[in-house]
Chains A and B, each alone.
Chain A
Amino acid sequence: MNDHIRNFCIIAHIDHGKSTLADRMLQMTGTISEREMTDQVLDSMDLEREKGVTIKASAVRMNYIAKDGKQYELNLIDTPGHVDFNYEVSRALEACEGALLVVDATQGIEAQTLANLYLALESNLVIIPVINKIDLNSARPDEVSDDLTNLLGTPGDQIVRISAKEGLNIDQVLDAIINRIPPPGGQGDEALKALIFDSHYDSYKGVIAYIRVFDGSIKTNSMLRLMATHTELKPVEIGFFGPDLRPVSELFPGDVGYVATGLKTVSECRVGDTITLVSNPANRPMPGYRKVKPMVFAGIYPVDGDDYSDLKDALEKLQLNDASLIYDPETSQALNFGFRCGFLGLFHMEIIQERLEREYDLNIIVTAPSVEYEIVLVSGETVHIDSPARFPGEEQIAEIREPWMKVQIFTPTEFYGTVMELATKRRGIFLSQEYPAPNRVQLSYDIPLSEIIIDFFDDLKSRTKGYASLDYQFADYRPDELVKLEVLVNDDPVDALAAIVHKKDAYHKGQRLVTKLKAIIPRQLFEVAVQASASGRVISRATVKALRKDVLAKCYGGDITRKRKLLEKQKKGKRRMKMVGSVEIPQDAFMAILRLGEE
């Protein structure tokens, strides 16, 4: 009965052209008019457009008249490629029967190509490999095609070669979707089962649940129940994505669409929950999703204490659209009142920071990211601490455990040596190597997460001329010799500058940190002493000399405005700094520990 429906997502490594392929399909099917068309039209957030990166998955329905003359309903979900947003991919997969696996013809298979492919295979999806960017001179489609055949067993003639940018062979992609991906199945007369695979918050319509109907159907006047939270509701509106919200009167089995719930909090309407009918409930919910856990933690503080409540409101609003962001109030001696926030990774953190600054116009200090440590106390109790500032005293600690990750690094074989060296330097333990394609090696390691969040990725990229890619998953907690590196400014410890480091690194990291801070902290009206210490021992100290000269010497023929503007600018810069005691510390200082790179 729903033979005309195809549900699929587009998955790939970052930047391989998913969103651009979506553009072409939207155009060919006339879903978006030429007038409304822009590059990566589904990347609708400002930050996505600016960075040219998809952050949030988006769904859209297309109508397509195939070569056989029949009209099909194609539900497309474009997914992000960045490893931090991997959970968006897993969610989208559950709503689909097939996946387009896009591979850049110049880059070939990369880490998230594999990671996302395995996720799709776990969900039993039909995979359609697509080689993109064949318009580029450096494209090597034959090679990439062979690699894909080796990986998937798909014969070369079934691998579609396209240029999403030039709109080449997009019809072949559409035909493959129709011919190879099965229709969704599901029964209209069974009890309603609809999976919530994503959501966003709309200030008029409340939480909009993105759903995939598996069995049964939803009408505008159906009384609905969310099976996990037992929330009952009558939808404000139901409909499909066009890609904007398009209301309909009924959603059928196999459909992808939305339910505007009218609910005001995301906790009442969780992604992964199953929607059913109050009148005829399903026996069991859909399997749902594993809860995503934040991996990286950092403090966010307003530079000006008066902005605290604005910051709180902003975090609340961001969380409505991004349940993976968590935050709790936190107090720092140095920075006063703020929030401890949990993120999926550094990129996620950067995005939240930028959104707070731009969309909410907040002047904030973000402290260096930390992982969550598991600490066994002398008392025998185990505690979880995600902030160096809150570490118990050394005498109370029996053992410190830190999170380790399973890491896969994908690289051309020529960089084997330098990648090995990097992993070893970062306390990595080599596990295995595989050669998924000639000249390509996948190296697997266990590496502590704390080593990965300190410019591991940048280091990897620079060592491999940008060719290596990286994927990782949580492995387990392991004990190691870790110490707290404290920073004292004019003899007062600044909790927000503290870091947890490996004992063997404490000395040189302490020294480099002090050197860096000396360079970052501007000269003030008095001398500022900066010290690093660990286990009660001072490792390094430096002095920021008192400022002696800061004046505009000359007034060029009465140019007073220039003078005033310069002073205003200087004043603004000063305002962005945080007063810690009587010392002004710029935002950069709190991130210094991340940038101790060899110089």
Chain B
Amino acid sequence: MLGWMEVHGVYLHFPFCVKRCLYCDFNTTTGTLEYLPEYVNAICQEIDLVASSLSFPLKIHTIYLGGGTPSLLSVYQIDQVLTRMRLSFDLARETEITLEANPGTVSFNYLFGLHQLGVNRLSLGIQSAVPAELTLMGRIHTVEEARQSIQDARMAGFDNFNLDFIYGLPGQTKANWQQSLDFAIENAPEHLSLYALTLDDHTPMARQIADGILKTPDDDMAADFYEMAMDQLAKAGYQQYEISNWATICGDTSRVCMHNMQYWHNQPYLGFGSGSHGYSQGVRTVNVVPLEEYIKRVRSDQKQVFPLSPANEIRNEIGETTRMQEAMMLGLRLTDEGIARSHYILLYQQDYYEIFHKEIDRLLGLGLLEWVEDNQERIRLTRKARLLGNQVFMNFVGDA
């Protein structure tokens, strides 16, 4: 079993939104703000329950408040949650504390308040700098509001923030995308996430496409947009460290998202809140989704064996083989560092090039994988494979 001392990340989920965006199939709700106070209480209770099932305070070095729209919580409520976290866990001095926020839900005062509380990383869901695209996506904010939120964040003291963008929208042109890229570069965030639009069939946008109201997004176009981004962001001084993520790295200050790295490195994290995911002690857990059900389960107050929670709906023990497979599937997303063999051997007592010899050789042959250096110590995706990740990853999962 994994060592008890491993440093964990913590993900806190807040499934509340003002209005559902037209492409969204995430675990979130609208018109449920009346539950928010109870929910915040419940999430604090869950943190306490799980943390106190250990006889010592667990070491934590990242906290991520995601959603949904966590910026719908008041400063007071954020304080309540972070205070609970500090009481329950042993937070590293430099703990990365990220909050996802949507422009249009944050004011300068609010952001200032957050920064005072110790939130040190902000992730702003900008999505696009083209007004028509924001409308198409059903976003609640304007480009102007986005610009304002960024300024406010800087003023409030944030020196580490991320902007989220979506590309590959129906009917999106190169000029449109260029506009968003320009906006991104102008505002000089420390971190950028660019996500290719992926639509679940049940989303309103997918239905509009099926009905012929919107154009089918063109994969080749999306691939072109991705290339544009890779080129221009590199020029602007960003380093791409993951398939969808870029960060500034100046001397010792790397702005890669430590919380996300926890996932890609297959390292443990706890998930709190409805529908949140956790991975610790070799068990992957998923909490129940419906708000009331979640609150009810937490109130049952039944202490479990760490890292379990009464709110878990799914608990999956990850076997040795799956663990090693997942390490490949996740590690290969790191487009710069890839996976180090020595590190892998340290964690799993086996060499991935031995286990997956056939697959790796084939993928090297297809030009989808490459060794970072000549000594075959690190393997990673080639540039052209960054957008073909699935074609690579699938070779490392399931039955041989």
Residue in contact with A551 in the complex, picked from B64, B277, B390, CB distance below 8 Å: B390
- Cβ-defined contact, B11 with A570, below 8 A: no
Q: Is A547 an interface residue (CB 8 A)?
A: yes
Query: How distant is the Cα of A556 from the Cα of B325 in the complex, in angstroms?
Result: 19
In this complex, how many residues of chain B approach chain A with their Cβ under 8 Å: the count is: 45
The one of A548, A557, A563, A570 in contact with B66, judged by C-beta atoms closer than 8 angstroms, is: A557
A548 touches B398 (CB 8 A): no
Q: Which B residues between 257 and 272 are near A, CB-CB below 8 angstroms?
A: 260, 263, 269, 271
Indicate if A425 sits at the interface (CB-CB under 8 A): no
- Which residues of the partner chain A approach B329 to less than 8 Å between Cβ atoms? 563-564, 567
1/0 contact trace for A524-565 toward B, CB 8 Å? 010000000000000000000101111111111111110110
Task: Tell me if B388 and A549 are in contact (CB < 8 A).
Answer: yes
Contacts of B394 in A (CB 8 A): 567-568, 570-571, 574
Instruction: Using CB atoms, name the residue of chain B closest to A551.
Output: B389
Q: Does B326 contact A (CB under 8 A)?
A: yes
Asked if B254 is an interface residue, CB under 8 A from chain A, the answer is no
Interchain CB contact under 8 A, B277 and A549: no
B196 touches A568 (CB 8 A): no
User: Which of B198, B222, B269, B387 is within 8 Å of A558, CB to CB?
Assistant: B269
Residues of B within 8 A of A525 (CB): 366, 368, 388, 391
Do A557 and B276 have beta carbons less than 8 Å apart?
yes
CB atoms of A548 and B219 under 8 A apart: yes
Query: Do the beta carbons of A564 and B278 come within 8 Å of each other?
Result: no
Q: What A residues does B284 contact at CB under 8 A? A: 560-561
The B1-32 residues at the A interface (CB cut-off 8 A) are: 11, 13, 26-27
Are the CB atoms of A551 and B278 closer together than 8 Å?
no
Contact yes or no, A549 B226, CB < 8 A: yes
A550 contacts B11, C-beta separation under 8 Å: no
Q: Total A-B residue pairs with C-beta atoms closer than 8 Å?
A: 98
User: Nearest chain B CB to A552's CB is how many angstroms away?
Assistant: 7
Are B271 and A564 within 8 A (Cβ)? no
Which of A552, A557, A558, A571 contacts B389 (CB under 8 A)? A552
Q: Which residue of B lies closest to A562 (CB)?
A: B277
User: A558 near B279 (CB under 8 angstroms)?
Assistant: yes
B243 closest partner in A (C-beta): A551
Please name the residue on chain A nearest to B325 by beta carbon: A564
**Does A572 count as interface, using CB distance less than 8 angstroms?**
yes
Contact A554 B244, CB 8 Å, known A525-B388, A548-B388, A567-B394: yes
Q: Is the CB of B388 within 8 A of A564?
A: no
Residues in A whose Cβ lies below 8 Å from that of B195: 553-554
Number of A residues near B (Cβ < 8 Å) is 25
A568 cross-chain contacts in B, Cβ below 8 A: 394, 397-398
Q: Choose from B196, B219, B330, B390 the contact partner of A560 (Cβ within 8 Å).
A: B330
Cα distance A563–B394 in the bound complex, in angstroms: 10
Q: Report A-chain residues with C-beta under 8 Å of the C-beta of B395.
A: 571
* B77 contacts chain A at the CB level, 8 A cutoff: no
Q: Which of A549, A550, A564 has the most CB of B within 10 A?
A: A549
In the complex, the answer to whether A559 meets B244 with C-beta atoms within 8 Å is no
B83 at the interface (CB under 8 A from A): no
Whether, in the assembled complex, B34 has its beta carbon less than 8 Å from a beta carbon of chain A, the answer is: no
Partner of B11 from A552, A558, A564 at Cβ < 8 Å: A558
Which residues of B (289-309) have their CB < 8 Å from a CB of A? none
* CB-based nearest A residue for B168: A549
| Given A557-B11, A560-B263, A547 contacting B66 (CB threshold 8 A) | no
A-facing residues in B206-236 (Cβ within 8 Å)? 219-220, 222-223, 226
Q: Which residues of B contact A (CB under 8 A)?
A: 11, 13, 26-27, 64, 66, 195-196, 198, 219-220, 222-223, 226, 243-244, 260, 263, 269, 271, 276-279, 284, 286, 316, 322, 325-326, 329-330, 366, 368, 386-391, 393-395, 397-398
- Ordered nearest first, which 7 A-B pairs have the shortest CB separation? A551-B389, A548-B223, A568-B398, A571-B394, A558-B277, A553-B195, A553-B196
Using a CB–CB cutoff of 8 Å, the interface residues on chain A facing chain B are 525, 545, 547-561, 563-564, 567-568, 570-572, 574
Besides the known contacts A558-B269, A560-B330, A574-B394, 10 further A-B residue pairs in the complex with CB atoms under 8 A apart:
A547-B388, A549-B219, A549-B387, A552-B389, A556-B26, A557-B13, A558-B278, A558-B279, A561-B277, A567-B329
